[in-house]
Amino acid sequence: MVSKLQAEIRQQRPFRSREAEALLNVLRTADALTQRLAEALKPFGLTPSQYNVLRILRGAGAEGSRCGEIAERLVAHDPDVTRLLDRLERSGLVTRARDAEDRRVVRTTITARGLAVLKVADGPVDAVATTHFSRLGVRELGQMIAALEAVRAARQDH
């Protein structure tokens, strides 16, 4: 029997293992969700990574965050957080300043404009989540979250 994923990607042969099929399903789903998220953020001139940075900085409050802290908290790894912050700063969505106590440290904070953009963008982002996950019940969502956390935990074991 051909799985839904096999049909989607037009794969004729069976997967080498259920684990391989699961991996490809997660990657295919992540790609689809990332595309939907990018579409929802396009009217605001934001990429998913930029939106993620703004959310992190909103949570950091007036104190802001160091570049390294932002990099650690990103949902999807970005090898060039500095360039990402440069673009957000040029757009007037964040500001950067040297720390008063340690001049080597640069802190990034979200601007009032950044907060305003984020507040409006939150609605379409929430709609993407609702559209794609409302089909699942509370129990199924909990199981999915637990399963994905278990998969990520395997990374820490190695």
pLDDT at 156: 67
d(CA 141, CA 103): 45
d(CA 77, CA 83): 14
What proportion of the chain, given as a percentage, has pLDDT over 90?
Answer: 67
Q: Which of 110, 116, 133 is nearest to 37 (CA)?
A: 133
Domains of the chain, by residue range, sit at: 46-157
pLDDT at 29: 93
**pTM reported for the whole predicted model:** 0.86
The two structure tokens encoding residue 157: 């074991």
d(CA 44, CA 157): 39
pLDDT at 158: 57
Contact call for residues 99 and 106 (beta carbons, < 8 A): yes
pLDDT higher than threshold 70 for residue 64: yes
Q: What tens digit of pLDDT does each residue of 131-146 get? A: 999 999 999 999 999 9
> With respect to CATH, is domain 46-157 assigned 1.10.10.10?
yes
